[in-house]
């Protein structure tokens, strides 16, 4: 004896299969901060736009004109401040994030850090010549070494790495006080950031298209594409239009009605059995071309049941018997 069951399946998944070689850009005319825009692009497409060359520049520029959009975020962001001495074990919780900036600092454009006579920090151009302080991990009693011969920041870093461990990190107020007393003036410490090093999608593209005089405005860290095609650096919290790239991640779903025939001793209310049915159906559909990302779920009737038993009509019974006889 067999039961004839009717059930409804919901098949859903990401409908887009990326096939295009060149990047698809999308101008979004909503006002969002850079971080909100990034979140939106990651949810709806791939990410905020990365721009690699003049072909892409022209494409985005004409899209902005067509959309009648204004300034728009792209994915380029200023790097975060970090220590030259990068070993994780060296820092306890929050110690890598300790900062002692003087008021008004850091500004923008200057990407390397000085400690001044009052123990407060300021940023400066890496090419300027200052004394500097190294850290020597091999000397437990006197780990800080002041070098009074002036060097630019990069050369100071090379010197400290060759002769000692690295340029000094400052992990807390106690160390700040200690180093301040040794320096007694102004010196490079190990804090720096890479200017405009970070694309939202992790791309290493070095393509830039700054407007004259841009890229070094004080205190700002995000990039806007302007209708003229030039880029400006702007505060990341300012709301603005933005440009995403990638194929739309449209979730498509489809309702499928299935008829199952099972032996009458099978307990169709057993969740393990229901799951097993689902997997079998899934496998069949995959074999006949359902995308790998698609997911199947049973839909429940208002009474919580998945399956409804269906009485076989005489006609259906005759057909079934005929099929099994054949
Ligand atoms: C521009 O960059 C895109 C994305 O990297 C690439 O697909 C395209 O071939 C490049 N075009 C030219 C002319 O270099
Ligand atoms: C540590 O530094 C002090 C002061 O510079 C020096 O006299 C001493 O020899 C150093 N010790 C080691 C183990 O390098």
**Residue 142 in contact with ligand 2 by CB distance below 6 A:** yes
Distance CA 288, CA 269 (A): 28
As beta bridge partners, residue 236 has none
Give the number of whichever ligand sits closest to the CA of residue 25: 1
Tens of each residue's pLDDT in the chain, 326 residues? 566 667 777 666 544 444 445 789 999 999 999 999 999 999 999 999 999 999 999 999 999 999 999 999 999 998 889 999 988 889 999 999 999 999 999 876 678 999 999 999 999 988 999 999 999 999 999 999 999 999 999 999 999 999 999 999 999 999 999 999 999 999 999 999 887 778 999 898 889 898 887 777 766 789 999 999 999 988 899 999 999 999 877 666 777 777 777 787 878 888 888 888 888 888 887 777 776 666 777 888 778 788 877 776 777 767 766 665 55
Q: Whose C-alpha lies nearest to ligand 1, atom 2?
A: 52
- The region, left, alpha or beta by phi > 0 then psi within -120 to 50, assigned to residue 104 is left
Q: Whose C-alpha lies nearest to ligand 2, atom 14?
A: 139
**Residue 23 in contact with ligand 1 by CB distance below 6 A:** yes
Q: Whose C-alpha lies nearest to ligand 1, atom 6?
A: 22
Whether the Cβ atoms of residue 144 and residue 168 lie closer than 8 Å to each other: yes
Residue 113, Cα to own-chain centre: how many angstroms? 27
Q: What is the pTM of this model?
A: 0.58
Kindly give the distance from the C-alpha atom of residue 55 to the centroid of ligand 1, in angstroms, as a whole number.
7
- The region, left, alpha or beta by phi > 0 then psi within -120 to 50, assigned to residue 213 is left
Distance CA 176, CA 169 (A): 9
Kindly give the distance from the C-alpha atom of residue 163 to the centroid of ligand 2, in angstroms, as a whole number.
13
**Residue 141 in contact with ligand 2 by CB distance below 6 A:** yes
């Amino acid at each position: 004896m067999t039961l004839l069951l009717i059930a409804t399946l919901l098949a859903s998944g990401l409908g887009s299969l990326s096939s295009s070689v060149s990047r698809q850009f999308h101008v979004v005319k909503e006002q969002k901060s850079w971080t909100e825009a990034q979140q939106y692009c990651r949810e709806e497409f791939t990410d905020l736009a990365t721009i690699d060359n003049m072909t892409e520049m022209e494409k985005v520029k004409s899209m902005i004109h067509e959309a009648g959009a204004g300034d728009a975020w792209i994915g380029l962001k200023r790097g975060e401040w970090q220590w030259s001495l990068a070993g994780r074990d060296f820092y306890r919780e929050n110690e890598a994030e300790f900062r002692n900036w003087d008021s008004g600092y850091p500004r923008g454009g200057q990407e390397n850090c000085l400690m001044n006579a009052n123990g407060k920090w300021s940023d400066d151009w890496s090419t300027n010549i200052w004394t500097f302080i190294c850290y020597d991990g091999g000397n437990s009693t006197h780990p800080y070494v002041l070098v009074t011969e002036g060097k630019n920041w990069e050369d100071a870093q090379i010197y400290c790495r060759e002769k000692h461990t690295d340029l000094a990190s400052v992990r807390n107020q106690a160390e700040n006080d200690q180093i301040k007393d040794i320096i007694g003036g102004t010196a490079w410490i190990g804090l720096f950031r890479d200017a405009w090093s970070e694309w939202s999608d992790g791309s290493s593209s070095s393509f830039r298209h700054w407007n004259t005089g841009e890229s070094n405005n004080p205190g700002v860290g995000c990039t806007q594409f302007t209708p003229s095609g030039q880029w400006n650096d702007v505060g990341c919290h300012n709301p603005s239009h933005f440009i995403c790239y990638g194929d739309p991640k449209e979730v498509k779903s489809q309702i499928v009605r299935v008829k199952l025939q099972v032996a009458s001793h099978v307990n169709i209310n057993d969740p393990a059995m229901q799951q097993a049915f689902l997997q079998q159906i899934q496998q069949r559909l995959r074999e006949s071309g359902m995308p790998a990302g698609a997911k199947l779920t049973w839909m429940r009737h208002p009474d919580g049941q998945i399956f409804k038993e269906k009485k076989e009509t005489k006609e259906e019974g005759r057909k079934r018997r005929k099929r099994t006889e054949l």
